[in-house]
A and B are shown apart, each in its own frame.
Chain A
Amino acid sequence: MAKWAMVIDLDKCTGCGACNVACKMENNVAIVDPDEAQSGRVMFWMDMMTSIEGEFPNIHARRVPKPCFHCDDPPCTVVCPVGATYRNPEGLVAQIYHRCIGCRYCMAACPFTAKSFNWYEPKWIGESSDVGNPDVSRRMVGVVEKCSFCAHRLQKVRETADLEDRPIRDEEYVPACMESCPADAIVFGDIEDRNSRVYRQSHNYRVFRYGEDLGVEPKVYYLARRTGT
């Protein structure tokens, strides 16, 4: 069985934020009004971790795209009281919005702050309310949501592959963030397939993972000439 994973090459990444926008549109992520967003209620499935170190003019800015890491041993799923978040056999950590009771224990347990909560009834302002992606269900107030590795795309791809009676080809199933990346910094695929690009990239000498010391086995790999960048 496939095990889906992602590699993000930080040496290629320009920090443009196209992945954030593409993700938001693809997954019908609600648009939070600016005041609320300022007070920490902003919703991103693909977040942009930004930090600036040093004093002007000697500053060192870091922009790191951060989706859910889809840990192989997820600390969030073990604490869920109702099984509304779980890890499926292909390694995708999924959410069941209609079962979630909104206790936010998974958010407290996630070491990477990957999850978002619907503090209010989610809104899609203006045109965005008419152009939603029909493949992704809209969430309701009071539930937790997060990056799904665009699992709805996997369903479509699998249907076609099954019809044609063949395995899913490498990079046939890719999430919206990878598709939109102008620098080709994001690579996605089956990490157990030795011929896939994601497998080769994840064995690059520049590779590192966040939270590797926690034993949660994240499936998002980063490439950078210096670790920690």
Chain B
Amino acid sequence: MKTKPPIDQDETLFRPIYETGRGFYVAFGILLLIFLWALYMYATQVWFGLGLTGMNEPVTWGFYIVNFVFFIGISHAGTLISAILRLSKAEWRRPITRMAEVITAIVLAIGGLHPILDLGRPDRMLNLLTAGRLQSPLLWDVTSITAYFTASTVYLYLPMIPDIARIRDRGGKLKWLYSFMAWGWTGTEHQKHVLNRAINILMVMVIPIAISVHTVISYIFSMTLQPGWHSTIFGPYFVVGAIFSGIAALMIVMIAFRKAYHLEEYLKEIHFRYLSTLLLIMSLIWFYFTFSEYLTGVFGAEPHEMQIIMYKFTGPFALFFWGMVFCNFVLPVIILSFKKLRTIRGILIASIAVVIGMWLERFIIVVPSLANPRLDMPTGIYIPTVLEWALFAGGISVFVMGFMLFSKFFPLISIWEIEEGRTHGRKEVEERIHSYLPGRARTSS
């Protein structure tokens, strides 16, 4: 029954869809177990109440909100970076965009669900629709996250259509699914024109939406009167942190799948070198923001602000704070500044450090401000329980599982765009360079 697929120039990219090794099943099984464990733990939380978590008064928000901000931050990798690279006509984007967009779609879904984990009454969630108040920053969040999710899934799907059509034409498994999803694509000039237009419109739209999402998440904190939160820098600070952790997550995923699916031909060192330059720049910008935020706090030395800053520097979470500085600034800057250390392995270490560091940053933003209430109230402490760790692990396992499943149905690298690069890209770039240089351009465009 199974027809033998014709040998393609980009056969490596199709292979994962048709061949699945044992390693895949083992890894997937382990992740599934973690996920089921998390699901069970969540069921106990719904049954008994949020008392099973480590949250208390005054630390009324814990891991769920930290992870919410963290995951949404990671999700910025994708669509935003892909849109910026497409917009700036960076030729080296071609093998990267698809993976970046998949990260966004999956992680955004996970992150967007986190506030629901945090609800004391998840059964009343629909009150948000029947009694929602648009004046509340939480509603701004619901709005912007749904907008971003819609835009980014469409933005992921559209450039996939020509590739899906290819898989449909090869025949084999799930023909009905690919026929349906290919939307009658045959690759005519008209279709190509429409698709390119749609992608262009979306990529321009997606950038402001992406920026609004993380700005609005920072507003949850900065709209309150709490010291350490009530800061105008928070919007851009969160966006910078989000892009920063997003690039790091993107590189981890790229390195992992490069090894797993032997994509060395496509994801070359040059891609990592370019992306790591971006990571280095983001690290420096992140440090600049952090430095400004804390210097203004320390210099003004408003007593309550100072209490929280000292709590961060020397309190029970001091290790988290200094760990954050080390992981987000010291280590990546050292690794990425020296060519000798800037190997794929070095980049992987730096990226993992950044992801951990950005998680610590979210923690350091959420918890210490809550732990130090105003008036003469006692300082709070927050110790997450197994339940909260389980849901954190569950979130990560869903991400990895989602990515693995995606790779089994669709190519992780945009095949038609690679091909386009081969056929059109070279000519286009050459023409573009000519148009930059003095003298008359060879062709009018």
A residues with CB within 8 A of B: 36, 39-42, 49-51, 62, 64, 66, 75, 78-84, 99-105, 107-109, 111-113, 116-121, 141-144, 210-211, 214, 216
A133 smallest CB distance to B (angstroms): 23
Q: A64-B376, A118-B49, A214-B225 are in contact. List 8 more A-B contacts (CB 8 A).
A: A51-B376, A80-B136, A99-B124, A100-B124, A101-B124, A103-B115, A104-B61, A117-B60
In the complex where A75-B224, A113-B377 touch, is A142 in contact with B57 (Cβ < 8 A)?
A: no
In the complex where A41-B51, A111-B374, A141-B49 touch, is A81 in contact with B132 (Cβ < 8 A)?
A: yes
Q: How far is the CA of A62 from the CA of B137 in the complex (A)?
A: 37
In the complex where A82-B127, A107-B57, A120-B51 touch, is A142 in contact with B119 (Cβ < 8 A)?
A: yes
Residue of B nearest to A53 (CB): B376
A117 smallest CB distance to B (angstroms): 7
* In the complex, chain A residues whose CB is within 8 Å of the CB of B58: 40, 107, 113
* In the complex, chain B residues whose CB is within 8 Å of the CB of A99: 124, 127, 131
Q: How large is the interface on B (under 10, 10 to 19, 20 to 34, 35 or more residues)?
A: 35 or more
In the complex where A79-B223, A111-B225 touch, is A40 in contact with B50 (Cβ < 8 A)?
A: no
Q: Mark B47-84, 1 if CB is under 8 A from A, else 0.
A: 01111000111111100000000000000000000000
Q: Which of B56, B121, B376, B377 is the one whose CB lies under 8 Å from A102?
A: B121
Residue of B nearest to A44 (CB): B57
In the complex where A113-B58, A113-B373, A211-B374 touch, is A105 in contact with B119 (Cβ < 8 A)?
A: no
B370 within 8 A of A: yes
B139 within 8 A of A: yes
Q: Which of B49, B115, B133, B226 is the one whose CB lies under 8 Å from A83?
A: B133
Q: How far is the CA of A118 from the CA of B127 in the complex (A)?
A: 19
Can you list 30 contacts pairing A with B, beta carbon distance less than 8 Å? A40-B57, A40-B58, A40-B381, A41-B51, A41-B56, A50-B376, A75-B224, A75-B225, A78-B136, A79-B224, A81-B142, A82-B127, A82-B133, A83-B131, A99-B124, A101-B122, A101-B125, A102-B119, A103-B115, A103-B138, A111-B225, A113-B374, A118-B49, A141-B49, A141-B120, A142-B49, A142-B50, A142-B119, A142-B121, A216-B225
Residue of B nearest to A50 (CB): B376
Q: How far is the CA of A119 from the CA of B45 in the complex (A)?
A: 10
* In the complex, chain A residues whose CB is within 8 Å of the CB of B56: 39-41, 119
Most chain A CB atoms below 10 A, which of B120, B125, B135: B120
Contact yes or no, A82 B137, CB < 8 A = no
* In the complex, chain A residues whose CB is within 8 Å of the CB of B133: 80-83
Q: How far is the CA of A62 from the CA of B377 in the complex (A)?
A: 12
B425 within 8 A of A: no
Q: How far is the CA of A117 from the CA of B61 in the complex (A)?
A: 12
Q: How far is the CA of A69 from the CA of B112 in the complex (A)?
A: 34
* In the complex, chain A residues whose CB is within 8 Å of the CB of B377: 49, 113
Q: How far is the CA of A101 from the CA of B55 in the complex (A)?
A: 17
* In the complex, chain B residues whose CB is within 8 Å of the CB of A107: 57-58, 60
Contact yes or no, A103 B57, CB < 8 A = no
